[in-house]
Amino acid sequence: MTYPVPLLMMYRMKGLTAYALGIELGRVLAGKKVRSAAHFDSGLSIELEDDEIPYLHIFFISRKTHLIPLAKPVVPPGYSIPVFSSINDAVITAIGPLGLDRIILIDLESKDSWGKLSRFTLRIDLSPSSKAVSLFELPGKRLMGSIGAARSRNPGSPDERPPAKRWSLFSLPDEYPGDIISAAAAGDIPEAPLYKKKDSHAPSSLSEILVSTIDGVDPILSSFLSRRYENAPYDLWENLKGIAAALSSGSFEWKIYDMPEGGKDGNCTLYPFSLPLPCRPERIERYLEGFGILAEEKILPSFSAKIRNRILSIIKKDINKSKKLIANLSKDLAEADRTDELRMYGNLLTTFRHLLRPGMKEIELRDFSGTTAVLIPLDPALKPDMNIKKYFRRAKKGEKGRLVIRNHRKEAEKELKKKLELLENVSKITKIEKLLEYLPEQRAPEKGKNNDGTEKMFRSYILDPNHIVLVGRNDRENDFLTHRFASPNDLWFHAQGSAGSHVILRRQGTSTPREYIKKAAEIAAWFSKARNSSTVPVIYTEKRYVRKPRKSKSGTAVCIREQTIFVKPSKPEDPLKKDFGGSRS
């Protein structure tokens, strides 16, 4: 029995919309505090110290990420876990978009009880390629943690951007490029690397060319512009320049546009200015109202569908387990119902023991009435007496377990019926609050876990407040520590010619005391196969000179410009109670 519950097509925020939203949020939230952040199933909630926008919700569903400012939490505290605790009570110094790439950066500052200032950047990435939310510590742009879809990757820095296109809406030439638009309108698409996509498929229409060559132009906008101005390329170019001017002005007029064909993104979208698209007649006074409408029509229903599908998946697994249990119990009951037959086999074999020989697979005997031939299977690996005992043992087990098995199967059938009814009921629920009742509550991170619930990473040893040694504990940690976590100016250590941990000396600045280099080398020697040697050569270099060969296994690294230091392996002091490291991807 199946209950198809389609996941609603979630609205994907456009680059123009994300750009304008970043500017709008910067005007309101600069100088405000971040109270806390919490991770829930398929999203993240940031609570702010602001009456107008108390919450920023980030949803990532079906590889689509959306940022929604709302006045209330979507998920109760019991169904979320705290994350990014280092920015609790941090002050927002700036918010803004990173160009037209659907990336919003939030700069924060916080002071500890000693007055030490710490700075961070929270990167919200609305594209499907990178983690939805990543926290970086400044000034080294060190990744402290990230949350998002499993298939997405951690960005290398807060300001990392996708490959540049030929133009941006902010850098359009005054004259339209006739070699592109005119050729596209005539159906003569140039075969040039500029137009090649990742799948080596060249754009086949003017709409695809606009998307692939102009940063900020999305498929919906390009589709309508190319159809509306199919025979008027000059007018199309002037409209694009008008859109760019509206963006640059910073004065936005938010409107919801309904797509006649629906499109792959659904039947509505939000833009920050007037466009030649079908627009809803009602006037949106502020952007918050527009995002509220999108949340009610698209985001929250999609989120509900995602939660519902997850619950249904759990219930279906339980149903399959119950069905398997019932099948096994039925098999056991069939065996138990053969008690009389099995005991007769045992008695016949006992009576005709003299006919049994080792290695026999079966034997045919007459029953005690002498009228019926009985074929009795035997295990050739067992001795004759063991085959006899086996049949008596099975008969005894059946006599004892017949009633128990029947009752157990009856209970299992009742449980299966309840689960099928639950599946039917949950498939009809649409409210998030009701759905969450069927999900297990999220537990706070356990000891040995990061604040996002992932396993803590790296052994950590403090040398002074500005120098910390980090040690990978396995190939996967070595790989993450060296190639993704360490900053370019950190020092990288490894025992020369011996398998061992990657060691990073995390430092502030480019000057490092010689004694700290020696200490990090001793630690690298200790966590290597050469630990028991009296002297171990250890190579070290800045992390910027360490590379990972293509298609190599985890933990592989090659370096250039390395130096060698000979040290005696030394067991470091006890690790810091607070480990370092971010989410594993």
User: Is residue 117 domain-resident?
Assistant: no
Do 430 and 319 share a domain, yes or no?
yes
Looking at the fold, whether 416 and 321 belong to one and the same domain comes out as yes
What pLDDT sits at residue 299? 84
Residue 377: is it exposed, middle or buried by C-beta count within 10 angstroms (0-12/13-18/19+)?
exposed
With respect to residue 58, please indicate whether it lies within any of the assigned structural domains.
Answer: no
Give the CA count within 13 Å in the CB-facing half-sphere of 523: 29
* Rounded distance between C-alpha atoms, residue 518 and residue 530, angstroms: 16
pLDDT of 436 reads 81
Asked if residue 431 and residue 487 are part of one domain, the reply reads no
In a domain, residue 38? The reply is no
Name which of 219, 209, 83, 70 is nearest 148 in CA terms: 83
> Quick one: 388 and 497 in the same domain?
no
> What domain range is 550 assigned to?
459-567
Contacts of 459 (CB under 8 A, 6+ apart): 470, 471, 473, 527, 572, 575, 579
pLDDT at 94: 94
Does 441 fall in a domain? Answer: no
Number of domains composing the chain: 3
Same domain as 243, residue 326: no
Provide the pLDDT for residue 291: 87
Q: Is residue 534 part of a domain?
A: yes
User: Which of 271, 304, 330 delimits the end of a domain?
Assistant: 271
In 3-state terms, what secondary structure has residue 471?
Answer: strand
Same domain (yes/no): 524, 493: yes
Other Cβ atoms less than 10 A from the Cβ of 7: the count is: 15
| Phi, psi angle pair for 131, to nearest 5° | -55, 145
Identify how many contiguous H helices and E strands the chain contains and give both numbers: 12, 24
pLDDT of residue 527: 94
Give yes or no: residues 429 and 357 share one domain: yes
**pLDDT score, position 421:** 93
- Tell me the mean pLDDT per 10 residues along the chain, length 585: 38 83 92 90 89 90 82 80 87 93 93 83 88 88 81 84 86 76 49 40 69 85 80 83 87 80 59 78 79 84 86 91 91 79 86 90 86 89 90 79 83 92 90 80 47 58 83 88 83 92 84 90 93 92 88 85 91 54 40
**What is the per-residue pLDDT for 248?**
87
Alpha-carbon distance of 74 to 7, in angstroms, equals 18
Whether 347 and 391 map to the same domain: the answer is yes
DSSP string, 21-48: HHHHHHHHHTTPEEEEEEEETTEEEEEE
Q: Strand pairing of 546-547 and 503-507?
A: unpaired
Check residue 489 and give its pLDDT: 82
Q: What is the pLDDT of residue 504?
A: 93
Give the tokens for residue 309. 């599908």
Strand (E) or helix (H) holding 425: helix 384-426
* DSSP labels, 139-193: TTTEEEEEE--TTSB--SSTT--PPP-SEEGGG--SS--HHHHHHHHTT-----G
For residue 220, give both structure tokens: 């919906």
Q: Please report the sign of the dihedral spanned by the C-alpha atoms of residue 534, residue 535, residue 541, residue 547.
A: negative
Q: Model's pTM, two decimal places?
A: 0.64
Whether 291 maps to a domain, the answer reads: no
Output the pLDDT for position 200. 43
* Tokens found for residue 312: 């249904």
* Same domain membership, residue 498 and residue 413: no
422 part of a folded domain: yes
Does the residue 355 lie in any domain? Answer: yes
Angle between helices 300-336 and 384-426 (to 10 degrees): 150
